[in-house]
Amino acid sequence: MAAGHFDPLSISHVEEFTLPDGENIRVREKGFLPAELESLLAAAGFRVRGIWGGTAGAWNKLPPSLDEIELMAIADR
């Protein structure tokens, strides 16, 4: 995947940055669908009580929408 591009199939984004000391780094962010997040939490031994959508500072217990980039999960062991 080329740097600075979003891949909708893997829900990932790669970006390259140059640090103040001149070192180049490559950062990859990976997004998850609610079902993927629930599976990962369950595999780690958590019981998922709910997954909601939101943005920092605007959290509600509402279903995730396509406009949101963050998910909130409440789970316990």
25/43 same-domain check: no
Average pLDDT on 23-44 reads 93
- Whether the CB-CB separation of 63 and 53 falls below 8 Å is answered with yes
Residue 6, H or E segment? strand 5-7
Residue 40 predicted with pLDDT over 90: yes
20/36 same-domain check: no
The predicted pLDDT at position 5 comes to 82
43/71 same-domain check: yes
- Give how many domains the chain has, as a whole number: 2
Cα torsion 51, 57, 62, 66: sign = negative
The predicted pLDDT at position 2 comes to 54
pTM for the structure as a whole: 0.70
17/37 same-domain check: no
59/72 same-domain check: yes
Residue 3 predicted with pLDDT over 80: no
What residue numbers bound the domain in which 72 lies? 32-77
Average pLDDT on 52-65 reads 83
